[in-house]
C-alpha cells in the first residue's frame, strides 16, 4: 500500500519502533552489559522484537489503517 510522505501515523513500523524503545527503557541493560559488552543493546533489541506477538502486529495495522 502506498503511503504519502511524512505520514508516520499511517505506518505500522513506527508503532513497532515505539514499542521497542518503550521496552528497552525497562530492560536490565546494566547487568547484561557486564556480561556481553557492547553487544548487549543489540541482544536486547533482538529479544524484544522477537517477543512482539502477531496480535500486537495486527493491532498496529488496525490502528494505522482504521482511518483510511
Domain membership of residue 35 (yes or no) is: yes
Whose cell is 553487544? That residue is: 39
Domain that holds residue 16: 8-65
Domain membership of residue 1 (yes or no) is: no
Domain membership of residue 34 (yes or no) is: yes
Q: Which 3 state secondary structure label does DSSP give 11?
A: coil
Whose cell is 533482538? That residue is: 46
Per-residue pLDDT reduced to its tens digit, 5-62 = 677 778 888 899 999 999 999 988 887 888 888 888 899 999 999 999 999 999 999 9
Domain membership of residue 3 (yes or no) is: no
Domain membership of residue 38 (yes or no) is: yes
Whose cell is 559488552? That residue is: 37
Cell numbers standing for residue 34? 557486564
Domain membership of residue 26 (yes or no) is: yes
pTM for the complete prediction?
Answer: 0.77
Q: How many domains does the chain have?
A: 1
Residue spans of alpha helices (H) in 1-68: 12-25, 29-36, 40-50, 54-65
- State how far the Cα of 41 lies from the Cα of 18, in Å rounded to an integer: 16
Amino acid at each position: 500500500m502506498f503511503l504519502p510522505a511524512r505520514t508516520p501515523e499511517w505506518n505500522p513500523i513506527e508503532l513497532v519502533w515505539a514499542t521497542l524503545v518503550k521496552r528497552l527503557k525497562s530492560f536490565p541493560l546494566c547487568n547484561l552489559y557486564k556480561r556481553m559488552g557492547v553487544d548487549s543493546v543489540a541482544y536486547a533489541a533482538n529479544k524484544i522484537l522477537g517477543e512482539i506477538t502477531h496480535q500486537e502486529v495486527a493491532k498496529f495495522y488496525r490502528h494505522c489503517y482504521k482511518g483510511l
